[in-house]
Structure 1
Amino acid sequence: MEERINRVKEILVIQGKSQKWLAEMLQISTTAMTAICNNRSQPHLKDLRRIAEILDVDVRELLVPSKS
Protein backbone atom coordinates (compact mmCIF):
# COMPACT_ATOMS: atom_id res chain seq x y z
CA MET A 1 0.00 0.00 0.00
CA GLU A 2 1.35 3.41 -0.98
CA GLU A 3 1.88 6.05 1.64
CA ARG A 4 -0.72 8.81 1.40
CA ILE A 5 1.18 12.09 1.16
CA ASN A 6 -1.07 14.48 -0.74
CA ARG A 7 -4.79 15.25 -0.61
CA VAL A 8 -5.19 16.60 -4.15
CA LYS A 9 -7.85 14.02 -5.05
CA GLU A 10 -9.84 14.77 -1.86
CA ILE A 11 -9.80 18.51 -2.52
CA LEU A 12 -10.94 17.95 -6.11
CA VAL A 13 -13.87 15.82 -4.89
CA ILE A 14 -14.81 18.42 -2.26
CA GLN A 15 -14.76 21.16 -4.90
CA GLY A 16 -16.55 19.05 -7.52
CA LYS A 17 -13.69 19.37 -10.00
CA SER A 18 -12.13 16.67 -12.14
CA GLN A 19 -8.58 15.40 -12.41
CA LYS A 20 -8.79 16.05 -16.15
CA TRP A 21 -9.69 19.71 -15.53
CA LEU A 22 -6.75 20.17 -13.14
CA ALA A 23 -4.39 18.42 -15.57
CA GLU A 24 -5.47 20.86 -18.28
CA MET A 25 -5.00 23.84 -15.94
CA LEU A 26 -1.47 22.63 -15.09
CA GLN A 27 -0.75 21.65 -18.70
CA ILE A 28 0.26 18.12 -17.72
CA SER A 29 -1.02 14.77 -18.96
CA THR A 30 -4.05 13.15 -17.37
CA THR A 31 -1.81 10.14 -16.67
CA ALA A 32 0.56 12.32 -14.62
CA MET A 33 -2.39 13.90 -12.80
CA THR A 34 -3.85 10.46 -12.00
CA ALA A 35 -0.49 9.37 -10.55
CA ILE A 36 -0.45 12.48 -8.32
CA CYS A 37 -4.06 11.97 -7.21
CA ASN A 38 -3.39 8.32 -6.40
CA ASN A 39 -0.16 9.18 -4.54
CA ARG A 40 1.94 7.10 -6.94
CA SER A 41 4.00 10.24 -7.60
CA GLN A 42 4.29 13.59 -5.87
CA PRO A 43 4.31 17.01 -7.49
CA HIS A 44 7.33 19.26 -7.18
CA LEU A 45 6.89 22.01 -4.60
CA LYS A 46 6.44 24.70 -7.26
CA ASP A 47 3.70 22.58 -8.87
CA LEU A 48 2.07 22.00 -5.50
CA ARG A 49 1.95 25.78 -5.04
CA ARG A 50 0.36 26.15 -8.48
CA ILE A 51 -2.22 23.49 -7.63
CA ALA A 52 -3.02 25.38 -4.42
CA GLU A 53 -3.43 28.62 -6.38
CA ILE A 54 -5.69 27.00 -8.97
CA LEU A 55 -7.84 25.33 -6.29
CA ASP A 56 -7.74 28.47 -4.11
CA VAL A 57 -6.56 26.62 -1.00
CA ASP A 58 -3.59 26.97 1.33
CA VAL A 59 -0.79 24.69 0.10
CA ARG A 60 -0.83 22.94 3.50
CA GLU A 61 -4.37 21.70 2.80
CA LEU A 62 -2.97 19.64 -0.06
CA LEU A 63 -0.68 17.67 2.26
CA VAL A 64 -1.44 14.93 4.74
CA PRO A 65 -0.09 16.10 8.13
CA SER A 66 3.00 14.23 9.28
CA LYS A 67 1.96 14.51 12.92
CA SER A 68 -1.46 14.15 14.46
Structure 2
Amino acid sequence: MIKKYNKIKSVLAEQEKTSIWLAEQIGKDKSTVSRWCTNDMQPSIETLFLIAKTLEISPKELLTE
Protein backbone atom coordinates (compact mmCIF):
# COMPACT_ATOMS: atom_id res chain seq x y z
CA MET A 1 0.00 0.00 0.00
CA ILE A 2 1.33 3.43 -0.96
CA LYS A 3 1.71 5.90 1.90
CA LYS A 4 -0.07 9.14 1.05
CA TYR A 5 1.94 12.21 2.00
CA ASN A 6 0.18 14.82 -0.10
CA LYS A 7 -3.39 15.68 -1.07
CA ILE A 8 -2.62 17.39 -4.38
CA LYS A 9 -5.07 15.19 -6.29
CA SER A 10 -7.98 15.84 -3.94
CA VAL A 11 -7.32 19.60 -3.80
CA LEU A 12 -7.24 19.74 -7.60
CA ALA A 13 -10.56 17.84 -7.70
CA GLU A 14 -12.13 20.21 -5.15
CA GLN A 15 -11.06 23.18 -7.29
CA GLU A 16 -12.17 21.42 -10.48
CA LYS A 17 -8.67 21.62 -11.94
CA THR A 18 -6.55 18.94 -13.59
CA SER A 19 -2.99 17.78 -13.12
CA ILE A 20 -2.32 18.92 -16.69
CA TRP A 21 -3.49 22.44 -15.78
CA LEU A 22 -1.22 22.42 -12.71
CA ALA A 23 1.76 21.20 -14.74
CA GLU A 24 1.29 24.08 -17.19
CA GLN A 25 0.94 26.64 -14.39
CA ILE A 26 4.12 25.63 -12.56
CA GLY A 27 6.22 24.65 -15.58
CA LYS A 28 6.60 20.96 -14.75
CA ASP A 29 6.13 17.88 -16.91
CA LYS A 30 2.59 16.49 -16.73
CA SER A 31 3.92 13.00 -15.92
CA THR A 32 5.79 14.41 -12.91
CA VAL A 33 2.66 16.10 -11.59
CA SER A 34 0.72 12.89 -12.21
CA ARG A 35 3.21 10.97 -10.06
CA TRP A 36 2.74 13.54 -7.27
CA CYS A 37 -1.03 13.10 -7.53
CA THR A 38 -0.72 9.34 -7.12
CA ASN A 39 1.90 9.74 -4.37
CA ASP A 40 4.42 7.70 -6.36
CA MET A 41 6.85 10.54 -5.64
CA GLN A 42 6.75 13.83 -3.75
CA PRO A 43 7.47 17.39 -4.83
CA SER A 44 10.29 19.31 -3.19
CA ILE A 45 9.40 21.74 -0.40
CA GLU A 46 9.97 24.66 -2.79
CA THR A 47 7.65 23.12 -5.36
CA LEU A 48 5.05 22.33 -2.70
CA PHE A 49 4.98 26.02 -1.78
CA LEU A 50 4.69 26.96 -5.47
CA ILE A 51 1.77 24.55 -5.89
CA ALA A 52 0.05 26.05 -2.83
CA LYS A 53 0.55 29.57 -4.16
CA THR A 54 -0.82 28.55 -7.57
CA LEU A 55 -3.88 26.96 -5.95
CA GLU A 56 -4.24 29.91 -3.53
CA ILE A 57 -4.16 27.73 -0.43
CA SER A 58 -1.85 27.13 2.53
CA PRO A 59 0.94 24.60 1.94
CA LYS A 60 -0.39 22.73 5.00
CA GLU A 61 -3.58 21.99 3.07
CA LEU A 62 -1.55 19.91 0.61
CA LEU A 63 -0.14 17.56 3.25
CA THR A 64 -1.67 14.67 5.11
CA GLU A 65 -1.20 14.29 8.84
TM range (shorter): over 0.9
Q: Match of 2:54, SS?
A: helix
Larger Rg over CA atoms: 1
Map 1:4-19 onto structure 2 (within 5 A). Answer: 4-19=4-19
Residue 24 (structure 1) shift:
0.6
Q: Report matched runs for 1:24-43 at 5 Å.
A: 24-43=24-43
Residue type at the aligned position of 1:44: S
Deviation beyond 3 Å, 4+ runs, structure 1 = none
Q: Which residue of 2 aligns with 1:60?
A: 60
TM-score for the superposition, normalised by structure 2: 0.98
Give the TM-score normalised by the residue count of structure 1.
0.93
Percent of aligned pairs with the same residue?
32
Secondary structure in structure 2 of the residue aligned to 1:54: helix
Aligned-partner residue type, residue 25 of structure 1: Q
Rounded to whole Å, the distance in 1 between the matches of 2:31 and 2:59 is: 22
The offset of 1:26, in angstroms, is 1.1
Count of residues paired in the alignment: 65
Q: Structure 2: which 5+ runs fail to align?
A: none
